[in-house]
Amino acid sequence: MLVLQNLTKKFGDLTAVNNISFRVQKGEIFGLLGENGAGKTTTLRMLATILKPSSGTAKICGFDIKNEPDKVRGHIGILFGGEIGLYDRLTAAENIRYFAELNDMNKSEIDERLDYLAKTFQMEDFLNKKASKLSKGMKQKVAFARSIVHNPDIMLFDEPSSGLDVSALREVHRFILDCKKEGKVIVFSSHTMSEVEKLCDRIGIIHKGILAAEGTVGELKEIHKKDSIEEVFVKLVGGKNEI
């Protein structure tokens, strides 16, 4: 389980995330929507223990992100879209193996998991190619596989479909839904309303660092008297060009 408790992050006089609280159960997908600069990525970076909260906290699998970050890291997988960060001189397989080793997986575990991920994301044809030779979509697949190679309980994805074509996007969506069936906790941000509506059990809309709304797609439409999540989003952020 993932529980946020009044999570806040300040950068000087700027409050990037302001007193956010919500929880995500096992087998649940929670989507974060918000315009650029709303606080989505900052929230995910705090959950990933990359940033330390200014106040408040969160618990991941019972471990506190402020006081027990080392224990938290063993239970999470992280992917930040636009920041693929592969090692160009290594092959796709070597990139994935390296991160598996960082998570203390043994060789047999790595071999089995790599085979599974290669089939899941249809990477067999380019596993042995250097990352520098891969297309953007291929790199995104490798980055995705690398982030969850250790089969974490909690998955944190910031724009996980960035750079993917239609077929690759379907593979990623199918994998996320399979993870839900396995009881994983999944939190991801996206600018694509249709993606959020398709995948998420619940949605949180962040505006200027504040959680402006939370609920299922149906609940949010009903509460705000709108026909789509896009219309709910525009109503809440209150601007002309937030999407």
The answer, yes or no, to whether residue 169 has pLDDT greater than 90, is no
The answer, yes or no, to whether residue 25 has pLDDT greater than 90, is yes
Mean pLDDT value across residues 223-234:
92
Mean pLDDT value across residues 158-164:
79
Residue of 228, 224, 220 whose CA lies nearest to 202: 220
- Which spans in 126-228 are helix H? 136-147, 166-181, 193-199, 217-224
Q: What is the pTM of this model?
A: 0.89
Mean pLDDT value across residues 128-153:
91
pLDDT band at 192 (very low <50, low <70, confident <90, very high): confident
pLDDT band at 84 (very low <50, low <70, confident <90, very high): low
Mean pLDDT value across residues 46-54:
96
How many Cβ atoms are within 10 Å of 225's Cβ, its own excluded? 9
Per-residue pLDDT, 161: 79
CATH number of 1-75+190-238: 3.40.50.300
Q: Which residues contact 134 (CB under 8 A, 6 or more apart)?
A: 86, 92, 126, 142
The answer, yes or no, to whether residue 239 has pLDDT greater than 60, is no
pLDDT band at 121 (very low <50, low <70, confident <90, very high): confident
